Amino acid sequence: MENLNISDPAAAGDAGHVQLNGHKQDAGENALFTSHMAVLENGTAQFILRALKMNGSTMLIVNSKENEVFDELAVGMPARDSTKSDALSSTLMGGYGQTESSVLAAKLSKRYGRQFFVSLNIGGDRLVTPLFEKSLVTYMQSHLDHFV
């Protein structure tokens, strides 16, 4: 069995290196996994955003600041045929049918052309969810290297 040690330089205070199978790599573009955490503010509501950027896909876990849970998980994938405009999504865990997580996963996959795993646990409604999505996209555009 090979040695596998993946660390988050920001969390561990590391000098920006990832150990993979005994070989040291810079934690920038060569790293297979990078993680990121942020607090997004949307009026009086605050949301915790956790991101795991992997080779070819990104996982987002979003919770309200008061309560971190993992209630549902969805995956969104860009269409194989680049002439089609819609991305595909499916709920893997949690709710049935088209969940908030699957809708957001499809939107992000279409926008960024990569696979997204999304766990959106904010208990949103017709007003909160669109405002949250706007603040998320704005944040992602400003910090794109953490997500894509």
Q: What are the structural domains of the chain? A: 1-31 (no CATH), 32-146 (3.30.230.90)
Whole-angstrom Cα distance, residue 134 to residue 140? 10
Question: By C-alpha distance, which of 45, 7, 1 is closest to 24?
Answer: 7
What integer pLDDT is reported at residue 26 of this predicted model? 52
The pLDDT of residue 30: 61
H or E element that contains 118: strand 115-121
Look at residue 81 in the predicted model and tell me its pLDDT: 76
Q: So what's the pLDDT on residue 73?
A: 95
pLDDT reported for residue 17: 43
Give the whole-angstrom CA distance, residue 6 versus residue 69: 24
Low-confidence ranges of the chain (pLDDT < 70): 1-31, 82-84
pTM: 0.75
| pLDDT given for residue 21 in this prediction | 42
Chain CA centroid to CA 85, Å = 21
